[in-house]
Structure 1
C-alpha cells in the first residue's frame, strides 16, 4: 500500500515515500501527504527516500512530482529515489536538472538509506 511516513535509519530520520506498485492516482495522494509532512519540518533538514519500484506514471503524476519537489525544496537536504526503470530515470533526471535538488537515483532502498546517511554525516562534520 502506498504511503508516506518518517522512518529511523541509525540516528537519522528519513521521510520515506513508498509508491511502489502504485497507480498514478494512488501516488498523487501519497505526494500530497509527503508535502504535508515535509512542510512541518525545518528548512534544509529533510532527508528523503522515495521507493518507486513498479510504480505507474502518467502526465498528471509527473506534474504532481514536479510540484512536490518545488514545494519541498526549501526543506530538503538530500533525496534518494530507488526502483526506477530506464524511462523513469530519464524523467527524474530531468526533474533534478530543472530543480537543482541534491538527489541521487539508486537501485535499492538500502543503497538509498546508506547514501542519505553519508550525506547526513558529511553535513554534521561541516557544522
Structure 2
C-alpha cells in the first residue's frame, strides 16, 4: 500500500499520509513526497488525514513533523490526525503551538477522521 494516497470520502478529496509503523527511511520519504504533493495544490484548499499510529521516533522525527506541519500550513484548509495517544498528545500540542496550526483535529479512528473531514 502506498503511504501517500489521494482518497475520496463523501465528496471530499483527502490527501492521506500513512506514517503508521513507518521505518525511518519511509518516514522521511513520506515527508518529502507529502511536501511536494501538498505544495502543488491551491493554498487553503487541501484536506489532509495523517495516520501516526505506532510511529516510533525520537526528537529528530518530532522536529521533522513540526517542519512538515509548518510547510503545509498555507495549503491545508483542515486536517485530521489519527494515532496520537498517551505522551504523544503533549508533543502534538507543542507542534500545534509552535506552528500556529489551529485547523487540525485529533480523531480516534480513520473512519471518524474521514467523516469529520467530509463535514468541513
Q: Structure 1 length normalisation: TM-score?
A: 0.87
Q: Which residue of 2 aligns with 1:105?
A: 106
SS at match of 1:74: coil
Q: Which residue of 1 aligns with 2:67?
A: 67
Count of residue correspondences: 119
Q: Quick one: distance in 2 between partners of 1:99 and 1:43? A: 17
Q: Which residue of 2 aligns with 1:14?
A: 14
Ranked by relative contact order (alpha carbons within 8 Å, sequence separation 6 or more), the top structure is 2
Q: Which residue of 2 aligns with 1:39?
A: 39
Instruction: Please say if 1:50 is aligned against 2:50.
Output: yes
- Answer whether contact 1:25 1:61 (CA < 8 A) is retained: no
Q: Which residue of 2 aligns with 1:123?
A: none
Q: Quick one: distance in 1 between partners of 2:115 and 2:15? A: 14
Runs of 4 or more above 6 Å deviation: none
Gaps of 5+ in 2: none
Q: Quick one: distance in 2 between partners of 1:8 and 1:32? A: 22
Q: Structure 2 length normalisation: TM-score?
A: 0.92
Gaps of 5+ in 1: 120-127
Structure 1 residue 2, shift from structure 2 partner:
6.4
Q: Which moved more, 1:73-82 or 1:84-93?
A: 84-93
Aligned-residue RMSD, C-alpha: 1.3
Which protein is richer in helix relative to its size? 1
